[in-house]
Amino acid sequence: MEEFGGEPGMSKHVRAVVLAAGKGTRMNSVRPKVLHELCGRPMLWFVLRALHEAGVDDVTVVTNSDVAPHVEAIARSAGHAASRAVLQEPQLGTGHAVQIALANLEPREGTLLVLNGDMPLIEVELVRSAMARAGNALALVTARMPLPSSFGRIVRRGEHVQKIVEARDADEDELLIDEMNAGLYAYDESKLRSAIAELRNENSQGEYYLTDTIGNFRERSETIVPVVAGNYRSVLGVNDRVELAAASALLRARICEHYMREGVTLVDPQSTYLEPGLDIAADVTILPNTAIGRGSSIGAHSEIGPNTRLQNARVGEHVTICDSVVVDSAIGDLAIVGPFAHVRGGAEIGTNVRVGNFVEIKASTLAPGVKASHLAYVGDTTVGDRTNIGAGTITANFNGKRKNRTTIGKDVSVGSNTTFVAPVTIGDGALTGAGAVVIRDVAAGERVVGNPAKSLRKETS
Ligand code: UD1
Ligand code: MG
């Protein structure tokens, strides 16, 4: 277990509760708010990721029945080995959510972090600074933020935090306060337990507000330590789709900056869509209007884009991919893909291959030096070294019932508009004439033409 801060009274083993059960009414969506995505990950992922990076792996997620089935997968992909979800039904407010979490946790001395699940811009440094200031009743993360704002206002007397007033419940003077409640709290667990038992729901929403624990602490002369975030953008909560788009843009800029600092050239970061955790080598260039998603890697000196989408694509070095889509596939070194290629379904494109100008490759292996340069469909096919696939070639892999494979050897010359009616095998060095419809196997070195394709040698003899 990692140790933080080293302040007196601070537990080595910090636990966290993440609030993710809210209905998300303002999203106007059948999808629960914390499952809406930014940069390819659900909102909740970023909160769990920041906790994991801060070394907090004992996390309880308060969920509703729509969120619960997804928590384990999200937590695992955020790096947590185990996850714990507790149901809050019905959802009676953030204070009620914490009550439910505490009822499911064995009481323990020390710090309990509480985080809203709708703050995807949260950064690990801020979690760490809240933990470092823990030890009193509450270290409360706040942020100075431009007005108007719908965040809860921090009401201070002098330096001391008196209470938090929700914007809905605030009077005119309180609405002018520009210090907001971030939604990240480092509580002393036993003091939280006694305060939470006394919450009431006398407010505009009839909800139990977690923020009312602050007033309770003041009455008991407990110490509340405000921790002012350096940048309010890292605590922006997402409550509707306008805020989701704004948070997405900020997150995207942050992710782009990360890759640029690692040596990746982004010609236009504004139109470049990257996800966290990609493996992009230094000296890769990414041209405008390009989206690179989950599981993708790109080797050095490759140039991707413009107008390109990669998803789970493993791209080698010195590769060029433009105006194309590559999904669940691998592209070998020095290959040129596009413009207008669609490579998908576990395709393996070898070194020095040329694929493009309206070519689709599905679940096929193209050996080094293969060329499919114009208007072709290659599906469920193996193609040998240096074979040239002529313009308009189709592998007819589906006979109405099942998919069949086409096997094409090395150094084959496939004439324009050839149709291979699978299953069919073409030997090394064979040739098909323009418009050939190949319905049976072709031997090595054999030349076939016509519909159905027949051996040239036999026809002319
Ligand atoms: C909350 C804070 C506000 C703060 C803001 C920061 C309260 C009362 N107010 O307001 O002071 O400035 O966050 O973003 O806490 N949730 C549950 N169960 C519920 C209700 C909510 O789990 O019954 C979860 C939501 O899924 C969400 C989080 O708690 O992730 C915050 O709830 P939300 O309704 O978004 O609160 P805000 O109005 O944003
Ligand atoms: Mg919110």
Dump pLDDT digits (tens) for 22-62. Answer: 989 999 999 999 999 999 999 999 999 999 999 999 999 99
Mean pLDDT of 94-120: 97
DSSP state of 438: E
pLDDT for position 458 = 56
Mean pLDDT of 188-213: 94
- 2, pLDDT greater than 50: no
User: Which amino acid is it at 43?
Assistant: M
Ligand 1 site, residue 36, Cβ cutoff 6 A:
no
Residue entry with tokens 């003077």: 173
pLDDT for position 97 = 98
The alpha carbon of 180 and the centre of ligand 1 are apart by a number of angstroms equal to 13
- 5, pLDDT greater than 60: no
Ligand 1 site, residue 122, Cβ cutoff 6 A:
no
Mean pLDDT of 304-308: 98
Mean pLDDT of 402-428: 97
pLDDT for position 23 = 86
Ligand 1 site, residue 209, Cβ cutoff 6 A:
yes
pLDDT for position 461 = 45
pLDDT for position 307 = 98
Mean pLDDT of 198-203: 92
CA of 155, nearest ligand number: 1
pLDDT band with cut points at 50, 70 and 90 for residue 114: very high
Is the Cβ–Cβ distance between 288 and 305 less than 8 Å?
A: yes
**Rounded to an integer, what distance in angstroms lies between the CA atom of residue 326 and that of residue 337?**
9
The alpha carbon of 73 and the centre of ligand 1 are apart by a number of angstroms equal to 23
- Report the residue among 71, 116, 236 best suited for mutation to probe ligand 1: largest number of ligand atoms under 8 A from its CB: 116
User: Tokens standing for 214?
Assistant: 């602050």
- 457, pLDDT greater than 80: no
CA of 183, nearest ligand number: 1
Ligand 1 site, residue 338, Cβ cutoff 6 A:
no
In 3D space, the residue among 154, 125, 157 whose CA is nearest the CA of residue 231 turns out to be 125
In 3D space, the residue among 16, 23, 200 whose CA is nearest the CA of residue 113 turns out to be 16
- 246, pLDDT greater than 70: yes
- 210, pLDDT greater than 70: yes
- 77, pLDDT greater than 70: yes
pLDDT for position 3 = 36
pLDDT for position 1 = 33
The alpha carbon of 118 and the centre of ligand 2 are apart by a number of angstroms equal to 6
Task: Indicate the pTM of the whole model.
Answer: 0.91
pLDDT for position 11 = 39
In 3D space, the residue among 325, 320, 293 whose CA is nearest the CA of residue 308 turns out to be 325
pLDDT for position 203 = 87
pLDDT for position 165 = 96
In 3D space, the residue among 240, 235, 278, 273 whose CA is nearest the CA of residue 256 turns out to be 273
Residues lying with their CB under 5 A of ligand 2, a single-atom ion: 118, 237, 239
Ligand 1 site, residue 42, Cβ cutoff 6 A:
no
The alpha carbon of 99 and the centre of ligand 1 are apart by a number of angstroms equal to 14
User: Which amino acid is it at 314?
Assistant: R
- 436, pLDDT greater than 90: yes
Mean pLDDT of 201-214: 93
pLDDT band with cut points at 50, 70 and 90 for residue 277: very high
pLDDT for position 10 = 41
Mean pLDDT of 240-264: 97
* Contact residues for 200 (Cβ-Cβ < 8 A; gap 6+): 208, 212
The alpha carbon of 116 and the centre of ligand 2 are apart by a number of angstroms equal to 7
Mean pLDDT of 142-152: 94
Ligand 1 site, residue 211, Cβ cutoff 6 A:
yes
Mean pLDDT of 325-331: 98
**Omega of the bond leading into 339 within 30 degrees of 0 (cis):** yes
Give the distance from CA 67 to its chain's centroid: 17
pLDDT for position 205 = 87
CA of 64, nearest ligand number: 1
Is the Cβ–Cβ distance between 348 and 366 less than 8 Å?
A: yes
CA of 97, nearest ligand number: 1
Residues forming the active site: 374
Nearest ligand 1 atom to alpha carbon 97: 18
The alpha carbon of 31 and the centre of ligand 2 are apart by a number of angstroms equal to 16
In 3D space, the residue among 150, 164, 118 whose CA is nearest the CA of residue 24 turns out to be 118
DSSP state of 23: -
- 107, pLDDT greater than 70: yes
pLDDT band with cut points at 50, 70 and 90 for residue 148: confident
Which residue owns the Cα nearest ligand 1 atom 8?
209
- 322, pLDDT greater than 60: yes
pLDDT for position 309 = 98
- Report the residue among 94, 102, 153 best suited for mutation to probe ligand 1: largest number of ligand atoms under 8 A from its CB: 94
Phi, psi of 296 (to 5 degrees): -90, 150
Q: In b/e form, how buried is each residue of 17-38, taking b as 16+ CB within 10 angstroms?
A: bbbbbbebeebeeeebbbbbeb
